[in-house]
Amino acid sequence: MAEPRGALDEVLVIELGEWVSAPFATRLMADMGADVVKIERAGRGDPARDVPPFATEGDRDTGALYCYLNAGKRSVTMDVDDTAGQRILLRMLESADVFVTDLPARALRARGLDPAAVLPRCPHLIFASVTPYGLSGPYADLPACDLTACALGGQMHPTGMPNREPLRPAGFQADYLAGLHAFGATVAALYDAKICEVGGLVEIAAVEAMAASAHSRGQASAAQAAGRSGETPATGEVPVPDLARVVDGPGGETLRFPGPPLRMSVTPLEPGRPPRLGEHTEAVLVDDFGMPPSELSRLREAGVL
């Protein structure tokens, strides 16, 4: 019997993202078989690595949030604030199918990594941007977080007690929803690119994703929002499939966390092992992209990688 294949086998995805939104989008792509290369800050990595609990105490490669969002990826350390790092990343994008980033517009422009700079050089590429407020408009360059997207997107309006301030939803709801939209839109863009042989920009704003979700809740939710009665729905068991998946951790630990929120019969989704920081830098840059080992050593000594 043939080995099960992933729906995104042979798709190369470059991720330049941190925390939740972009990593969640690419985690779903990795589950579908895509080769996801995660670019992380040299020497530090994704700040999500610092969020406890840890499978192995003191080992920041084993944090629950980081492992859940980055299972099945390869990690490459790179300083994209350095011009040498920017040149390496652009060379990688020339061979990639998808670029997913959560950097805001101003940060992309400052590094020469905005769509206007990248897409003419890589016309085949799907450039997926997932940010709080989008790449244009009056809010594009404002500081933001999951809380502000939840508030501006309307999700906090129906929460809390009467005559009191609204409450934020638990967790990273705006970031997860934005990541899920980015995943779906990017896969659709890949299908279009296969037909038209040209890439393009996929733009997701978390505030728009939240507003669309809040609107879909309908009149009942709007009535609750008007009075914020404070009532909570009845609780009980919900008949759902087994959501847990068991995978190996970076150090051989056994990790158990929720699996992908979708199932496919012909091309099943299989979470892989989360990477250690920079674990695949040499394999990706030397073996996959042809960088001379001497150049790799020089860039590591300079702190670029």
- The phi, psi pair for 131, rounded to 5°, reads -135, 170
pLDDT of residue 266: 56
Does residue 120 have a pLDDT over 70? Answer: yes
Say if CB 180 and CB 98 are below 8 A apart: no
| From 58-62, 136-140, 214-218, 289-293, the region with the lowest mean pLDDT | 214-218
Residue 103: CB atoms within 10 A of its CB come to: 21
Does residue 207 have a pLDDT over 50? Answer: yes
Does residue 12 have a pLDDT over 60? Answer: yes
pLDDT of residue 90: 98
Q: Please report which confidence band the pLDDT of residue 223 belongs to, taking 50, 70 and 90 as the band edges.
A: very low
Higher pLDDT, 12 or 168: 12
pLDDT of residue 2: 53
Q: What is the mean pLDDT of residues 190-212?
A: 88
Q: What is the mean pLDDT of residues 96-107?
A: 96
Q: Tokens for 304, please give them.
A: 């670029």
Domains (range + CATH), the chain: 12-220+239-301 (3.40.50.10540)
Q: What is the mean pLDDT of residues 282-302?
A: 95
CA distances from 145 to 73, 127, 171, 211, 287 (A): 25, 22, 12, 15, 37
CA 269 to chain centre: 17
| From 148-152, 157-161, 230-234, the region with the lowest mean pLDDT | 230-234
Each residue's pLDDT tens digit, 178-189: 999 999 999 999
Q: What is the mean pLDDT of residues 66-88?
A: 96
Higher pLDDT, 251 or 189: 189
Q: What is the mean pLDDT of residues 198-215?
A: 85
| From 59-73, 151-165, 268-282, the region with the lowest mean pLDDT | 151-165
Does residue 195 have a pLDDT over 70? Answer: yes
Distance CA 232, CA 274 (A): 37
pLDDT of residue 4: 64
Distance CA 45, CA 29 (A): 20
Rg (Cα) of the chain, in Å, rounded? 20
Q: Tokens for 297, please give them.
A: 């050593």
Higher pLDDT, 207 or 116: 116
- The phi, psi pair for 9, rounded to 5°, reads -55, 140
pLDDT of residue 38: 98
Q: Which residue is listed with tokens 């073996």?
A: 287
Each residue's pLDDT tens digit, 18-39: 999 999 999 999 999 999 999 9
Say if CB 259 and CB 241 are below 8 A apart: no
Does residue 249 have a pLDDT over 80? Answer: yes
The set of catalytic residues is 175
Nearest CA to 292 out of 282, 302, 303 is that of 282
pTM of the model: 0.85
Does residue 224 have a pLDDT over 70? Answer: no
Does residue 242 have a pLDDT over 80? Answer: no
Nearest CA to 149 out of 104, 101, 206, 103 is that of 206
